């Protein structure tokens, strides 16, 4: 009996401890759930505030780059194979303060490569001109900046952000974030041309080695008049949400303008980017191909041209700038982006690529985009 009587209180104590533990875990789980719900509510409210803001009312302004002033702080990024003269003119007409050429090899210009020189087609209608140069040899950059091919360009932008393997293997593009001394010498070489110089770069090769603040300061100390920071590391390529903190760090590190780039596909994205980074403006990249009307919306234009009007305008300009085959190639590429969210166009797209002359191509474009006004 004594043994039984002593064991019973011990069992009761054990049961009580177990019940207390269950109660503790239940309360802890409830608190965690409440906290998550609170955070979700905060996020929703923040999102609603972002949507309610309009970029043109809150953040739109002129952009001062050295001794040059762009009419808006909404820029079109340099895109290889796309940002030729006709496309740049369209973006500027829609409200972009600046539209960059596709990347051009500094070495190619040094050796008078004709194919490279064709990328620099421009005329007096392009009132503010910016060329992006790619390379890794300071002397080649200096020669390119002082050469006849870039003579009509006001701004030299240096590509220090391209993540493509072949570019990085050559020590160009994003590879330069690993070599601040060489990057500095390239900027200084470009500045010796007397032109306004900007730099586009990424925060680092990966999240384990982020150099965004020191790289931004190096750019400013070397004479850069503006920097653009793509909010993804090299190994992120073009996937995932940009890391706003990287762009914010660059902004805090320098006094020159900082442009935020990466993942902007709507006015809400643009407002969020400005809210989170404190940047001086935004740069639109591939979404500008799909929906160039975003420039009009961000800059507060009252009317946005339909896609039919825009693509036929591209055909007109391309015919004046290129031979027929090159003009058709450009129009097809832009039209393909315009068609991304346009249902029922698969067969027409095949016809577009099979078409053999610009006149027939125009007729197909009318059939594709003439069914509605082409706006989003």
**345 and 203 in a common domain:** no
Q: Is 219 annotated in the active site?
A: no
Q: Can you give the pTM of this predicted structure?
A: 0.84
Q: In this structure, is residue 351 part of a structural domain?
A: yes
- Of 270, 298, 326, the residue at which a domain comes to its end is 298
Please report, for residues 46, 162, 173, 278, the alpha-carbon distance to residue 166 in angstroms, rounded to integers and kept in the order given.
41, 10, 10, 33
Cα–Cα distance measured from residue 141 to residue 334, given in angstroms and rounded to the nearest whole number: 30
CATH number at residue 293: 3.20.20.70
**340 and 311 in a common domain:** yes
Number of structural domains (the chain) is 2
**311 and 290 in a common domain:** no
**267 and 344 in a common domain:** no
Which H or E run contains 227?
strand 226-230
Q: In this structure, is residue 34 part of a structural domain?
A: no
Cα–Cα distance measured from residue 80 to residue 119, given in angstroms and rounded to the nearest whole number: 10
**99 and 218 in a common domain:** yes
**260 and 353 in a common domain:** no
The residue annotated as part of the active site, out of 56, 91, 145, 162, is 162
**212 and 155 in a common domain:** yes
Contact assessment for residue 218 and residue 254, using Cβ atoms and an 8 Å cutoff: no
Q: In this structure, is residue 32 part of a structural domain?
A: no
Q: In this structure, is residue 26 part of a structural domain?
A: no
**241 and 160 in a common domain:** yes
- Of 298, 322, 351, the residue at which a domain comes to its end is 298
CB atoms inside a 10 Å sphere around CB 332: 16
Q: In this structure, is residue 29 part of a structural domain?
A: no
Cα–Cα distance measured from residue 286 to residue 281, given in angstroms and rounded to the nearest whole number: 17
Q: pLDDT tens digits for the chain (376 residues)?
A: 333 444 444 444 455 455 445 444 554 554 454 454 444 444 444 444 445 589 999 999 999 999 999 999 999 999 999 999 999 999 999 999 999 999 999 998 877 777 777 789 999 999 999 999 999 999 999 999 999 999 999 999 999 999 999 999 999 999 999 999 999 999 999 999 999 999 999 999 999 999 999 999 999 999 999 999 999 999 999 999 999 999 999 999 999 999 999 999 999 999 999 999 999 999 999 999 999 999 999 999 988 899 999 999 999 999 999 999 999 999 999 999 999 988 888 999 999 999 999 999 999 999 999 975 545 4
**319 and 286 in a common domain:** no
**293 and 355 in a common domain:** no
pLDDT given at position 341: 84
Please report, for residues 83, 111, 126, 161, 298, the alpha-carbon distance to residue 101 in angstroms, rounded to integers and kept in the order given.
5, 19, 11, 15, 21
DSSP string computed for 283-340: EE-THHHH-TTHHHHHTT-S----HHHHHHHHHHHHHHHS-HHHHHHHHHHHHHHHTT
**239 and 104 in a common domain:** yes
Query: What is the residue range of 259's domain?
Result: 56-298
Q: In this structure, is residue 375 part of a structural domain?
A: no
Q: In this structure, is residue 78 part of a structural domain?
A: yes
Query: What phi and psi values does residue 21 have, to the nearest 5 degrees?
Result: -65, -40
- Of 244, 269, 298, the residue at which a domain comes to its end is 298
* The residue to which tokens 């900027």 are assigned: 187
**317 and 235 in a common domain:** no
Which H or E run contains 217?
helix 212-222
Q: In this structure, is residue 122 part of a structural domain?
A: yes
Please report, for residues 76, 199, 235, 293, 326, the alpha-carbon distance to residue 339 in angstroms, rounded to integers and kept in the order given.
20, 32, 30, 14, 20
């Amino acid at each position: 009996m004594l043994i039984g009587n002593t064991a019973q209180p011990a069992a009761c104590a054990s049961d009580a401890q177990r019940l207390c533990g269950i109660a503790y875990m239940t309360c802890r789980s409830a608190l965690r759930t409440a906290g998550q719900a609170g955070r979700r509510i905060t996020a929703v409210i923040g999102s609603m505030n972002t949507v309610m803001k309009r970029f043109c009312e809150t953040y739109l302004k002129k952009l001062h780059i050295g001794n040059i002033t762009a009419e808006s702080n909404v820029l079109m990024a340099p895109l290889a194979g796309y940002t030729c003269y006709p496309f740049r003119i369209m973006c500027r007409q829609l409200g972009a303060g600046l539209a960059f050429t596709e990347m051009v090899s500094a070495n190619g210009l040094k050796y008078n490569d004709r194919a490279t020189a064709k990328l620099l087609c421009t005329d007096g209608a392009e009132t503010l001109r910016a060329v992006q140069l790619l390379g890794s040899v300071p002397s080649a950059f200096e020669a390119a900046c002082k050469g006849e091919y870039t003579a009509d360009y006001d701004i030299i932008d240096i590509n220090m952000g391209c993540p493509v393997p072949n570019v990085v293997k050559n020590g160009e593009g994003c590879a330069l974030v690993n070599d601040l001394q060489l990057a500095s010498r390239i900027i200084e070489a470009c500045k010796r041309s007397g032109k306004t110089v900007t730099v586009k770069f990424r925060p680092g090769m990966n999240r384990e080695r982020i150099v965004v603040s020191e790289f931004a300061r190096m750019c400013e100390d070397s004479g850069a008049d503006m920097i653009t920071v793509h909010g993804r590391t090299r190994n992120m390529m073009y996937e995932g949400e940009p890391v706003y903190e990287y762009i914010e760090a660059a902004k805090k590190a320098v006094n020159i303008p900082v442009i935020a780039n990466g993942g902007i596909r709507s006015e809400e994205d643009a407002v969020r980017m400005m809210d989170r980074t404190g940047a001086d403006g935004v740069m639109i990249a591939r979404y500008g191909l799909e929906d160039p009307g975003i420039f009009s919306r961000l800059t507060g234009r009252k009317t946005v041209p339909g896609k039919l009007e825009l693509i036929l305008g591209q055909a007109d300009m391309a015919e004046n700038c290129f031979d027929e085959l090159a003009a058709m190639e450009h129009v097809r590429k832009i039209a393909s982006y315009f068609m991304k969210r346009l249902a029922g166009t698969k067969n027409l797209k095949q016809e577009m690529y099979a078409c053999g002359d610009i006149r027939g191509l125009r007729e197909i474009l009318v059939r594709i985009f003439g069914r509605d006004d082409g706006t989003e």
